Amino acid sequence: MEMKVEVVLKEIIKPSSPTPPHHKTFNLSFFDQIAPPIYIPLVLYYTNDNDNKSLRDVIKKSLSESLTRFYPLAGRINDDNSSVDCNDDGVDYLEAKVTNGRLSQLIKHPDIHVLERFLPCEPYSSDDQSKGNSKVLLAVQVNVFEDCGGMVIGMCISHRLADASSSATFINDWAATARGATEQIMVPCFELPTLFPKVDLMGFTPPGGIKNKLEQQLLVTKRFVFDASKIAELKKRISIAANSNGGLIIDNIQEYPMMTRVEAVSAFIWKRFVELDQAKVGVAAAAAARVYSVTHAVNLRTRMVPPLPTNAFGNMYNPAFALFMNTEDEKDHTYPNLVGKVKEAIKKIDGDHVRKLQSTDAYLNYMKQIKSINSSGQTSTVMLHFSSWCRFPLYEADFGWGKPTWATTAPLPFDNVIVLMDTRSGDGIEAWVNMTKEDMDEFQLDKELLAFVS
């Protein structure tokens, strides 16, 4: 029988103490203003056999307490779309019972489209479409498996207030509050609106590339797992290829190919996608008319000078941008060359780059430059968009009954978007790949890909 998820309770959870008058208006930062009006979905899976009724009481009480520190989440976006009315209207809290299935089996044989049912809203339509009240900035759904006692916590947090890093900060504060670990409770830093003040964005349209295709064509999300041994094998293979050619070429400088697992996996997926595209359109046609590009969302907190703390709350990321003009020369898209391009793009997001971004004009000009490349009529740009959640401490979210067995996002209705997440061991990568059905039918059968994933 098909697993059934039935919502049995809907409530509003408000901060345990009122927000002080001097905090009633919270200005968004510039990066918040240009963030998409969607939710970031996060799902944590806990295998336990404790008294779920008492656990749910702990979850609600600690959520209320955490909201006193993360008070903007309990407010509502003002009509100006540049500030939050911190009115303590609260967040949506839902409880659901799960029948016809066991959590252990779901984790062992995941159906990623079933996972969407554990969320309190449709995350990618608009951030005012919760199953409970409208226009909430945070919604939570606690799902209890009746057959085994397992629990799944699904959370949707407005992208207009938080990025993935801030989402992890919030849920770990909430978990620490629940288990009474007061020394690990981290008061959020709300410094970003001061460092990157809101501006008048009239007339500016964010660049394209990530397009909602729900009404245009069928998209497919597949999860590919690179375990640590396969990543080591992949890095070794890239290193051997680089050394045989004298090292990685980065801005005409040869470097020893010391790459991160994220860089290695990103370049590998990029390479497989390029070859898929060339096979589809023909190598000669692709060489004459195609640009292959990658964006990588880079967390700016540690790249500022001095660095910002990890609890700096809000949106604080910037896309690193790499591309190559394809030719018939195979050297253009060898693994070492693509790793080098990814490394160099991320390397350029440094303290000086972040300092320049504090000038809004500089950032908008940068984004317009990317948009002009993508919209050039002389070439066809084929883009992949990566967002790495690796090293965000999602697996540390212990509410008092143990750390999660699994942490996931949800299927995305965007073309050519890849979310990279840690495996539970912390040294592997789960790649959540979103493509058109036509492309995925070919991509998931790629023999070279299948040699490295499970």
Q: Which residues contact 244 (CB under 8 A, 6 or more apart)?
A: none
Q: What secondary structure letter does DSSP report for 165?
A: H
Q: CA–CA separation, 223 vs 406, rounded Å? A: 13
Cα angle 360, 166, 173 (rounded to 5 degrees) comes to 150
Rg (Cα) of the chain, in Å, rounded?
Answer: 22
Residue 216: CB atoms within 10 Å: 10
Token look-up 């253009």 returns 332
Q: How many Å is the maximal CA-CA distance in the chain?
A: 66
Task: Give the span between the Cα atoms of 297 and 418, in whole angstroms.
Answer: 11
* d(C-alpha 128, C-alpha 160), whole Å: 11
In a 3-state reduction of DSSP, which class is residue 205? coil
What is the rounded CA–CA span in Å between residue 7 and residue 310?
34
Q: Answer yes or no: 159 catalytic.
A: yes
**Count of other CB atoms within 10 angstroms of residue 232:** 13
Q: What is the DSSP letter of 332?
A: G
d(CA 302, CA 151): 34
CB-CB neighbours of 278 under 10 Å: 19
Is residue 88 part of the annotated active site? The answer reads no
Paired tokens of 434: 């979103």
Which of the following is catalytic: 32, 92, 127, 159?
159
Give yes or no for a contact between 61 and 125, defined as CB atoms under 8 angstroms apart: no
Tokens 């990279």 appear where? 420
Point out the catalytic residue in the list 85, 128, 227, 398: 398
> 335 near 237, Cβ under 8 Å?
yes
Residue 259 DSSP label: -
Sort strands 39-46 and 406-408 into parallel, antiparallel or unpaired: antiparallel
Stated as kind and residue range, the H or E segment containing 416 is none
Active site amino acids: 159, 398
